[in-house]
Structure 1
Amino acid sequence: MRVKPDFRKFHEVDAEALCVSLFEGEGLEDALLRELDQRLRGVLAAALTSGEVKGKFGETLYVPTMGALAASRVLFVGAGKRSEFTFDTIRQVAGTAARFLRQRGIRSMAILRRSTLELSRSAQAAVEGVLLGLFDPGTYKTQEKEERTIEEVRLVAEGESEAEMQRGIERGLILAKATNFARNLVNEPASVLTPLELARRAEDMAARYGLDIEVLDEARMKELGMGALLGVARGSDEPARLIVLRYIPEGDEAFLRRLPTIALLGKGITFDSGGISLKPADGMEQMKYDMAGGAAVLGALRAIAQLRPKIKVLGLVPATENMPSGRAQKPGDILRTMSGKTVEVINTDAEGRLILADAITYARQLGAQTIVDVATLTGACVVALGSVYAAIFGNDQSLVERVIAAGREAGEKLWPMPLDPEYREQLKSPIADLKNVGGRKAGAITAAYFLKEFAEETPWAHLDIAGTAWLEENKPYLASGPTGMGVRTLAHFVCQEAQRGSPEHS
């Protein structure tokens, strides 16, 4: 797809369709809308008067121009209230327009700027919206497969800065493509995306974008004492892997020594049957997406490698299946983690926290000064927050607030949850240092508290994306299936931390 800035007057833009945001309750007070309506011979005024379109979010009005504009058609898209218009609104309006137009065979579209929000970030949001909206989860369809695509997008902003527009376009392309890369990983069936295949794709991505990568096999994990990760892996015939990516910016040794190191961790359970504590059959097919946190980390590292922030980044993805077998771990087993702490396994379906425990310890050993993990960790989080917000926990309030701010920038909502020490009581075991579950009460919180035990004094935040990693039904601006939740938040967070903590700013 080609994305270009366009600085001509709207009526000179020769795309197949011109997309125009329409605010709720808006009339023809705006000079641009008034001129557009005059050129369309009153079509917009008639639609507004009749109530056919009111500017409510997601509404559409599709009008042929009959030669009145260089564009063949105009698509009006409801943007909701002007007072609530944000960069995320731009993202969603652009996604709605792209999906609407693709269904009608349009190959070139133009999006008209109608706000005073910062130009570069507006362009970025529009590009992200189009690419995210056009993602097609029907990878394996042979019938009724969507073959149509939009080949060109123009962002129309008469008289604006070309440098700012181009900067936003390039950043939007990087982040959206990285998000769709993660979505493609999550979308793969577990028979295709085994832990070995996930590691292979990580290697391909690292080679393409100039990242260092090391993939630890089970023998190496055993040497390191990763008993929790290997305990989960015991039930599967597919060997586990620990993917370790490194991003190091350009600079001499003295400069690099002064840079902080952030570790991004992602749960990589490529299929979660629950193990011996077997899940119900209903909905189990969706457990291929239990590696969405790992996919988010891979996608974020891909974006970071192109954005080139001045900060060192580790990306760790512990990858395994959670399966029942004669060798599988059982309730009542005791695991010795890499940290030396022991864990009594109460429920083998609480496996994500086990593999992340060893990954957190290893990240600390590798020198991480800040850790952010992302995981489809608990059903309790879905019950608490549904599919609107992901939960965020942490042992450092400032870190939590900075990650929330990065999520807001990315259009990904995070809600802070408590980690009071009283919740630790639910994890007490009579035989080991910890239990891997804390009972029915506060399930998402006790899962996060379990991870907190391994982060120890290192600033750490945990994103539980169980409710937001997968979309059950199509939205006007996004297809059902994997969302790529976390990719853009992590990338924004790393870039913000680089600006905040680089030697140039200290």
Structure 2
Amino acid sequence: MTSFTLSAHAAHEEDAEVLVVFTASVDDRAELLGDIAEPVRQAVSAAAQTVRARGTADEVVPLPGVAGLSAPSVLLTGLGERKGDVVEAERWRRAAGVAARATGGREKVAVLLPAGDAATMAAITEGFALGAYAFTAHRATTAAKAARSTPVAEVVLVGAADVEGAASAIHRAEVLAQGVHWARDLVNTPPNMLVPMRFAERARQEAPAGVQVTIHDADALAEQHCGGILGVGQGSENPPAIVHLAYAPEGAKGHLSYVGKGVTFDSGGLSLKPADGMVDMKCDMAGAAAVAAAVYTIARLGLPIAVDGWLCLAENMPGGRAQRPGDIVTMADGSTCEVINTDAEGRLILADGLVLASRRRPDVVVDVATLTGAAIVALGKRTAAIMSNNDAFRAELAQVAAAGGESMWPMPIPEEIAKGLESPVADRKHHGDRSGGASLAAAFLREYVGVDAQGNPQLWGHLDIAGPAYNDDQPHGYTPRGGTGFAVRTLVGLAESRS
């Protein structure tokens, strides 16, 4: 992991391989941001004009050999068009993330902080930490190639040594990035190396102090009548499991429960996917990865709130024992479900997880899943859908997500769509008309959310992260190619806001 420290040196005096300077686009030119000695500012500005740097978002411009600097080169990283004096936190994060990717392989980089407030420093540190990521676990390559993909080792923050709360902001950014990086690692791990029980064991091995890990194997799931996840997993030689992570600090202010979809590989089962639809299906466990990483991050930050994590792990394969369209399974709550399409497996395993989570009577339950292609059709690849059984809680989730820099959009669960779950032979079916598919899946999950002590439905939120959980395009901002760790920041943010 990249380490971060504050420096009392002036920017031009800092001994580093690269000095990162933020720029904004003003009149189609790059305007330098931050306090730097005037002769050096003039030299950097002149060099920027020579190469026609514009300060646009995601722009990175290297400037070697600038006079008056201890660092041998400057890297300009653009924020985009400047609109007033206040810059949104997410723009700082993204610009810092681009700089982090561009400085890979260096030992030490200095970052000129453009403002002296803790919020800006926190956003920049977080963005750089998130961008300083590479997944190289399975590369057999030369040392030179490996070095280029290695994140920068040390980042020195220049220009805000006396910011109140700086140490805590840096600590939070480092711990949060550690969680996001682990979630990315899990998603990027090939499916032959992360079958359900291996995922469960990794969760046990990585658990920080204060988190209790309980693995419910196939026998334990059968005892609890979890027919949804058992049905999905029965076509694979690798049995399913549900992992319960429990963080319960003394004096906890509230109780949250997070449920994650963890299909370690999704062939579609007997409703087989086309070949090109399986290539990235190692990412179908991104919801469980986000939940595990969030719970561990909350514990490492020492937040005073109890959190349960439920990792619903299965491999959906078309083996000789695979469940068939038309099968009826009995779920953990005792209700029956008619299986319509075995490639709609995520909602079946989540349903059992929601039942188990609800039994512990948390204040809120949130499930996270790469659930439907319909969410991608509706919102694209960078935005998740938020649905809920409570409008105020749905708005709360959207607000927390926005503050953390994760793009999510509230969507409804229309009652006419929910009627599509009616089955002529079971209590309900799990799939129906393709129109409104994301809302139909949410309507199905809603049926498995329990009630509180007064008999009212528990507060529940559903995050369909099918689009942003995996980036199969070019990197952007602090987002790498492959697993993104999406939803970790929102889950951590919810715990922070409620504690």
| Same fold (TM > 0.5) | yes
SS of structure 1 residue aligned to 2:170: helix
Q: 1:30 to 1:283 in 2, by over 3 A?
A: closer
Query: Could you tell me which residue of structure 2 aligns to residue 229 of structure 1?
Result: 229
Question: Which residue of the partner structure matches residue 453 of structure 2?
Answer: none
Match of 1:20, as an amino acid? V
Shift of 1:31: 9.1
Matched-pair contact (CA < 8 Å) for 1:75–1:97: yes
Question: Partner residue of 2:379?
Answer: 385
Question: Partners of 1:189 and 1:126 in 2: how far apart?
Answer: 32
**Aligned counterpart, 1:169:** 170
1:78 aligns to what? Answer: 78
The answer as to whether partners of 2:13 and 2:69 remain within 8 angstroms in 1 is yes
Are 1:99 and 1:476, in contact at CA under 8 Å, matched by a contact in 2? no
For 1:123 and 1:30, the matched residues in 2 are separated by 17
- SS of the aligned residue for 2:448 comes to helix
1:231 maps to a residue whose letter is G
Alpha-carbon distance in structure 1 between the residues aligned to 2:33 and 2:338: 69
The amino acid that maps onto 1:461 is G
Aligned to 1:449: 443
Q: Distance in 2 between matches of 1:158 and 1:229?
A: 51
Deviates more, 1:316-325 or 1:473-482: 473-482
* 1:23-42 equivalences in 2 (<5 Å): 23-25=24-26, 35-36=37-38, 38-39=39-40, 42=43
How far 1:30 sits from its partner (Å)?
7.5
Q: Distance in 2 between matches of 1:76 and 1:9?
A: 18
**2:291 match:** 297
Distance (Å, rounded) in 2 between the aligned partners of 1:204 and 1:384? 38
Q: Which residue does the alignment assign to 2:300?
A: 306
1:136 and 2:134 equivalent?
A: yes
Q: 1:31 to 1:80 in 2, by over 3 A?
A: closer
Alignment partner of 2:399 out of 398, 402, 405: 405
Report 1:5-404 matches (<5 A): 5-25=6-26, 35-36=37-38, 38-39=39-40, 42-45=43-46, 47-48=48-49, 52-66=52-66, 68-83=68-83, 85-102=87-104, 105-115=105-115, 118-119=117-118, 121-143=119-141, 145-148=145-148, 149=150, 150-158=152-160, 160-161=162-163, 163-206=164-207, 208-251=208-251, 259-404=253-398
Deviations 1:71-111 (A, max 9, x none): 22211111112227321111111111121122xx4321111
Worse overlay, 57-66 or 481-490: 57-66
Unaligned runs of 5+ residues in structure 1 are 499-506
Amino acid at match of 2:219: A
> Do the aligned partners of residues 308 and 100 (structure 1) sit closer, same or farther apart at CA in structure 2, a change above 3 Å counting?
same
Distance 1:28 1:140, change over 3 A: closer
Letter in 2 for 1:128: E
**Secondary structure, aligned partner of 2:297:** helix
8 Å CA contact 1:123, 1:172 repeated in 2: no
Question: SS in structure 2 opposite 1:346?
Answer: coil
Q: Which amino acid counterpart does residue 106 of structure 2 have in structure 1?
A: I
Q: Deviations 1:435-463 (Å, cap 9, x if unpaired)? A: 11121111111001100111151110000
Aligned to 2:484: 483
Offset of residue 420 of structure 1: 2.0
CA-based RMSD of the aligned residues comes to 2.0
Q: How far did 1:25 drift?
A: 0.8
Contact conserved, 2:421 with 2:432, CA < 8 A, in 1? yes
Deviations 1:111-161 (A, max 9, x none): 111146x41x33332233223222213431213643244121011124632
Structure 2: segments with no counterpart, 5+ residues: 451-456
Deviation at 1:12, TM superposition (A): 2.1
Name which of structure 1's ranges 76-85 and 329-338 shifts more when overlaid on structure 2.
Answer: 76-85
Cα pair distance change 1:43/1:303, threshold 3 Å: closer
State the SS of the aligned residue for 2:386. strand
Aligned residues of 2:254 and 2:305 also touching (Cα < 8 A) = yes
Residues 355 and 15 (structure 1), Cα distance of their counterparts in 2 relative to 1, 3 Å cut: same
State the aligned residue count.
Answer: 484
What do residues 321-341 of structure 1 show as CA deviations (whole Å, max 9, x unaligned)?
A: 111122111000111111122
Change (3 A) 1:340 1:328: same
TM-score in terms of structure 1 length: 0.91
The 1:16/1:327 distance shift into structure 2, 3 A limit, reads same
Name the CA distance, whole Å, in 2 between partners of 1:40 and 1:122. Answer: 21
Report if aligned partners of 2:12, 2:37 keep a CA contact under 8 Å in 1. Answer: no
SS at match of 2:367: strand
User: Deviations 1:296-316 (Å, cap 9, x if unpaired)?
Assistant: 001001100111222111000
Counterpart of 2:238 in 1: which secondary structure? coil
Aligned to 1:463: 463
Which has the larger displacement, 1-10 or 410-419? 1-10
Partners of 2:442 and 2:474 in 1: CA distance: 30
State the distance in 2 between where 1:179 and 1:189 align.
18
Please tell me whether the aligned partners of residues 412 and 489 of structure 1 are also in contact (alpha carbons under 8 angstroms). Answer: yes
Give the 3 Å change call, closer, same or farther, for CA 205–34 of structure 1 in structure 2: closer
Q: CA deviation at 1:425?
A: 1.4
CA separation in 1, counterparts of 2:338 and 2:65?
69
Structure 1 residue 34: Cα displacement: 8.0
Amino acid of the structure 2 residue aligned with 1:136: A
CA contact (8 A) 2:48 2:63 kept: no
Aligned-partner Cα distance in 2 for 1:34–1:142: 43
More helix by share: 1
How many Å apart are 1:250 and its aligned residue? Answer: 2.5
Tell whether the 8 Å contact from 2:24 to 2:31 is kept in structure 1 after alignment. Answer: no
CA 1:29–1:19: 2 relative to 1, 3 Å: closer
Q: Distance in 2 between matches of 1:275 and 1:158?
A: 55
Q: Which runs of 4+ in 1 moved over 4 A?
A: 26-36
**Cα shift readout 1:358-396 (whole Å, capped 9, x = no counterpart):** 110111112223100100000111111111210010001
Distance in 1 separating the partners of 2:122 and 2:296: 17
| 1-structure distance, mates of 2:421, 2:160 | 60
8 Å CA contact retained: 2:233, 2:316: yes
CA contact (8 A) 1:334 1:343 kept: yes
Identical counterparts, % of pairs: 39
Question: Aligned partners of 1:287, 1:435: CA distance in 2, in Å?
Answer: 24
Question: What is the rounded CA distance, in whole Å, between the counterparts of 1:194 and 1:132 in structure 2?
Answer: 27
User: Contact 1:124 / 1:170 at 8 angstroms: preserved in 2?
Assistant: no
